[in-house]
Amino acid sequence: MTERAFFFIILFMATIYFTRHGETFTNTKKLVCGAREVELTEKGHEQALELGKELKSKIEGGEIKIDRIFYSPLSRAKLTALHISEITGIPAEEEPLLIERNFGSFEDKSRESEEFKAALRTFAMSYGRESGGESNMRTAQRIYNLLDKLTEQSKRTDETYLLVAHNGLARVVNSYFYDMTNEEFGAFGITNCQLLRYEF
């Protein structure tokens, strides 16, 4: 690799951050909750505020850079993002493509059931399209399209983004950057307000 090519790669390397919303009632009960509304708990609000303070400290210390926040239209992610935005001063805007997937017939059922865990490892099944279920494939299509768009946008603007969304999307985002087996995909998850960093 020539020196010139090396600098070309560095120039267009971009960073994206991803976090899951703060705790909700359904999280505490270990219930499946997809593309429907559920409020943050008091602890959920506190988690969002703590993440905002952590990011503010790291930004002011020159450890990280975040230029814009994009968040899911569901209130649990929106409020998490707005808490972070208020503390850090980073502008935040709604991104409809970041809405959590609809888990169809599994909605409001136990996340710990073997049936649901097995379903997470399937890709074409929508868990009942008549009830609005969305397959892993369709979810990945919209999230991959969004990440492709942000990659190109970052190349033009040199911006770094924070996505505030959901656990169901965390595994999809991770699969965009890393190869994952079906088992790894189904088992992947993050805790409330856990921060992930990826390089384009």
Look at residues 57, 113, 118 and name the one whose alpha carbon lies nearest to residue 84: 57
User: pLDDT for 15-43, tens place per residue?
Assistant: 999 999 999 999 999 999 999 999 999 99
Q: Specify the CATH architecture of the domain 13-199.
A: 3-Layer(aba) Sandwich (3.40)
Burial (CB count within 10 angstroms: exposed 0-12, middle 13-18, buried 19+), residue 96: exposed
Does the structure show a pLDDT above 70 at 81?
A: yes
Q: Which of 21, 95, 134, 166 is catalytic?
A: 21
Instruction: Report yes or no: 71 and 165 within 8 Å, Cβ to Cβ.
Output: yes
21 is catalytic: yes
42 is catalytic: no
Look at residues 134, 132, 106 and name the one whose alpha carbon lies nearest to residue 118: 106
- Residue percentage of the chain with pLDDT more than 70: 92
Look at residues 24, 55, 27 and name the one whose alpha carbon lies nearest to residue 42: 24
User: pLDDT for 38-80, tens place per residue?
Assistant: 999 999 999 999 999 999 999 999 999 999 999 999 999 999 9
* DSSP 8-state assignment for residue 136: H
| Residue ranges covered by each domain of the chain | 13-199
Q: Which of 23, 83, 95, 100 is catalytic?
A: 100
